[in-house]
Amino acid sequence: MSESWIVGINPVEGALSNDAERVREVLVENGQRNPRVQALAERAKELKIPVHHRPREQLDRVAGEARHQGVVALYQAPPLAGENDLPDLLEQAGNDALVLVLDGVTDPHNLGACLRSAAAANVTAVIVPKDRAVGLTPVVRRASAGGADRVPLIAATNLARALRSLKDAGVWITGLAGDTEQSIYDIDLKGPVALVLGSEGEGIRRLTRDTCDFVARIPMPGAMESLNVSVASGIVLFEALRQRRVR
């Protein structure tokens, strides 16, 4: 396990609400009068988490380039879940299993935004390749707006093998690509499904694509060839929910 700083009001609030036992201490900027920051400090004290008031310069140092808004928290991050955790997660989800697979998405802001969409869609798990992912860094946590604490992130040593495990468990896999005529809106996304997206530049890798049951695209009648991966993730996840009529 490794320790890192969670930076900003929303990320600290998410950590205190969803994973407080891993928060080691909270630093608040001296003279901070933001009522949300004050409420976070009181919440941390109620949870028996040490709260220290420190000069702004100290918070600037631990926050780096991120905007801390007057509050940071030292967090002991758990290890990412592994492929062995998948069967239990799928069994618990049953016919409602909805998995997001990100192949080659290494930008922390994009990964964080994808986790935010995944949490909003009540995704069963997000799977990333272990050697092509950034992990749950402070930037990822901030971009996820608390989503990183709400959805399991699984780092797969072998992504193709993880996809085959999904198929063996009865999950139908649809990859997203721009060079196919099949529309995502014509794919049946009810029941246990996994949606696979790649980076904007390279897309999903060939071996990953070959493992998919279907390959589809998001129709774009405008003069753009691709969407940001986090936007595309939101579109396809909520199309699945639309088909399932989740309210």
The tokens for 9 are 């009001």
Residues 217, 109 share a domain: yes
The tokens for 90 are 């799928």
| Angstrom distance (rounded) from CA 173 to CA 216 | 11
- pLDDT over 70, % of the chain: 93
User: How confident is residue 148, by pLDDT bands cut at 50, 70 and 90?
Assistant: confident
Q: Which residues have a Cβ under 8 Å from the Cβ of 109 and sit 6 or more positions away?
A: 139, 143
Q: Which of 78, 72, 87 is nearest to 22 (CA)?
A: 78
| Angstrom distance (rounded) from CA 118 to CA 171 | 17
Please give the helix or strand (H or E) that residue 18 lies within, else none.
Answer: helix 9-18
Sheet with 71-77, side-by-side order of all strands = 2-7, 71-77, 23-29, 51-54
Dump pLDDT digits (tens) for 3-31.
Answer: 788 888 988 998 898 788 889 999 999 99
CATH number of domain containing 48: 3.30.1330.30
Q: What would you report as the CA-atom Rg of the chain, rounded to the nearest whole angstrom?
A: 19
Q: Which residues are annotated as a binding site?
A: 198, 218, 227
pLDDT for 139 equals 74
Residues 89, 49 share a domain: no
Distance of CA 28 to the CA centre of its chain: 27
Any bridge partners for residue 25, and if so which?
Answer: 74
Dump pLDDT digits (tens) for 192-206.
Answer: 999 999 986 778 899
pLDDT for 64 equals 83
Residues 148, 102 share a domain: yes
Domain boundary, last residue among 53, 77, 101: 77
Query: Could you tell me where the DSSP H helices lie in the chain?
Result: 9-18, 35-46, 56-63, 86-93, 108-120, 138-144, 159-168, 206-211, 229-244
Cβ atoms of residues 129 and 105 within 8 Å: no
pLDDT for 246 equals 57
Q: Which residues have a Cβ under 8 Å from the Cβ of 206 and sit 6 or more positions away?
A: none
pLDDT for 245 equals 83
Supply the range of the domain harboring residue 149: 83-244
Q: Which residues are annotated as a binding site for S-adenosyl-L-methionine?
A: 198, 218, 227
| Angstrom distance (rounded) from CA 122 to CA 1 | 26
Burial 165-189 (b: 16+ CB within 10 A, else e): bbeebebbbbbbbeeeeeebeebeb
Average pLDDT over residues 219-246: 87
Q: What is the mean pLDDT of the chain?
A: 88
Average pLDDT over residues 42-51: 96
Residues 214, 110 share a domain: yes
Domain boundary, last residue among 42, 77, 112: 77
Dump pLDDT digits (tens) for 57-115.
Answer: 999 999 887 789 999 999 887 767 778 889 999 999 999 999 999 998 888 889 999 99
The number of domains in the chain is: 2
CATH number of domain containing 127: 3.40.1280.10
pLDDT for 133 equals 65
Residues 113, 47 share a domain: no
Average pLDDT over residues 224-247: 87
Residues 9, 126 share a domain: no
Domain boundary, last residue among 58, 77, 96: 77
pLDDT for 1 equals 52
Residues 46, 111 share a domain: no
Statement: residue 247 has pLDDT above 60? no
DSSP three-state, residue 229: helix
Q: Which of 152, 140, 206, 148 is nearest to 177 (CA)?
A: 206
Average pLDDT over residues 128-150: 75
